[in-house]
Amino acid sequence: MIAPLIKQLLKELGEDAQREGLERTPERVEKAFRYLTSGYEKNVEEILNDALFVEDYDEMVVVKDIDFFSLCVPSKQIVNAVGGAKPARLVKVGDRLWTLDRGYLKETVVTTVTSRKTREIVEVRTRGGRVRLTPDHPVMTESGWQEAQDLRVGTRVEWINPRSLCRTPYRPQPGYALGYVLGAVAADGSIQDGRCVALIVKDRRFAEKYRTTLTEAFPGSASKIESVAVPSGFLRRDTSMFRVRIVSRAIAEKLCRWLGVSEEGARSKTKSFVFPRVVTSSQEMMQGFLDGYCDGDGYAVGSSAKYIVSSNQRFLTALADYLETPLKKTGTGGTARVYVSSHWHQAGWYGKHGFRSQSDFYVPVDSTYATVMEVRRLPGAKKPHTVYSFKCEPYSTFLVGGHLTHNCDHHLLPFFGKAHIAYMPRRKIVGLSKIPRLVEMYSRRLQVQERLTTQIANTLNEALQPRGVAVVMEAIHLCMLMRGVEKQNSKAVTSAMLGAFRDRPETRAEFMELIKSGRGLQI
């Protein structure tokens, strides 16, 4: 019921819960609340009872610098900033970072930078590269946000090739010209490595028309016609040809995705592409596709019709089905042809549907998915890593090594910081790892810092019956950073002193001195 309630809450606040950026917020908030309140599912006995030992030790036991929230990027990890990638430690307020919104490349601005120390780092290796993050840093996968530590081999994470971030976008314009480019490339072109589009033909008029439509379809792009010599196995000599070539990942990736072909490798796409349904978004675009393909791999029948020829059976079958015309085998090398009447678009011509839209015009998304190859926790460092967290607007997400991540703006986290805990045993001690788990259990509930501090102190006091317990918590509260007084450098410190720590000033002073070294939340 949480997600529907959040959706209703958004409506009560005057928001459209279906608008871009909010349609998945109810699910995100539900997942966040379940994570943040998972402490309710645990109890003290489950955490402490199997780790209580009788030991003849009566001096102070201190566990300090226990983090109770972290979503950060290590200082040396590359963050994809506009104008050039930079290490996380060099990112400043006001910097523009690249991000992805529904798959499309966008810019977002850093409004707050915070940092802290940690020894826990996870390295994620994907087909797109390696990134290092704190274990609970969210990464976008096909099924939604997942923490870095929970990623598994085979999981696909949203990614964009970082080398493409400096490219000129070349926004495609729908219409006849774009349809012609798609048809010409499908018939006679090649796309190498997802970045170089080339058309090599004997007919100069075809080359000139292709170059003109390419410039019109992608305004700002520039290409020229080059005379090249191509070796002919049949003639056993070089043949004079004309080449139109453009190197642009922005253009090549879009053509590959419209045509449904791989962006890797250097080969012709003639035998592998699919009928690009985007050309049916308008009659002009479909006509351009037919003309471009026919000029490349077809021939005219008088002045009123043409044949499109191909060995790509999947493409021809789909085209024939769309035009409602038979697919005829030519008997040469598995090729076939489709007849295209000059009246193909007219509804009722020989009982046919004519032009009909099977797709709205769309621009393929900029992102793709990279498969996770390995996830590993790095060995504990002798010297803590400095990790950085960025708050960005208008998008809370940003790219790390081309991988989409975020700092959890959706998750309504109230405060985060460090806890310092000590106790003086009376013959009973507890496993040291259980103390951070106790902090985690109580912090993952609906909390205020004052209550959290006393709950931890009282629980240890009841379980161990020690001579004294001390808890000091330092935290940054988002309610002070993001609203109200908006004091970016404010933090709250709370303490609970029981037994000897309350009664003996010298014991309390010793504890405070022990946690003083390196003490303080790094902002």
Domains of the chain plus CATH, in order, are 1-36 (no CATH), 38-69+413-516 (3.30.1130.10), 73-160+367-409 (2.170.16.10), 176-351 (3.10.28.10)
Full DSSP string of 74-126? ETTSEE-BTTS-EEGGG--TT-EEEEEETTEEEEEEEEEEEEEEES--EEEEE
Q: Compute the chain's Rg from CA coordinates.
A: 32
Cβ atoms of 178 and 172 within 8 Å: the answer is: yes
Q: What's the pLDDT at 311?
A: 87
Q: What's the pLDDT at 208?
A: 96
Cβ atoms of 457 and 496 within 8 Å: the answer is: yes
Q: 1 Cβ partners below 8 Å, 6+ apart?
A: none
pLDDT, one tens digit per residue, over 123-167 is 999 999 999 998 878 888 888 778 888 899 999 999 998 888 877
DSSP H/E element including 63: strand 61-67
Q: Which residues of the chain have pLDDT under 70?
A: 35-37, 39-40, 50-51, 53, 65-72, 234-235, 265-271, 331-332, 381, 406-416, 445-448, 477-491, 517-523
Environment class of 217 (CB within 10 Å of its CB; exposed 0-12, middle 13-18, buried 19+): buried
Could you count the other beta carbons within 10 Å of the beta carbon of residue 433? Answer: 11
Q: What's the pLDDT at 321?
A: 94
Q: Which residue has the tokens 């044949």?
A: 307
Residue (of 412, 458, 443, 435) closest to 38 by Cα position: 443
**Which SS3 state, helix, strand or coil, does residue 199 take?**
strand
Q: Say what the pTM is.
A: 0.60
Q: What's the pLDDT at 442?
A: 81
Residue 112 has which token pair? 């707050």
Q: What's the pLDDT at 503?
A: 92
Q: What angle do CA 19, 22, 28 make, to 5 degrees?
A: 155
Residue 516 has which token pair? 């003083």
Q: What's the pLDDT at 520?
A: 45
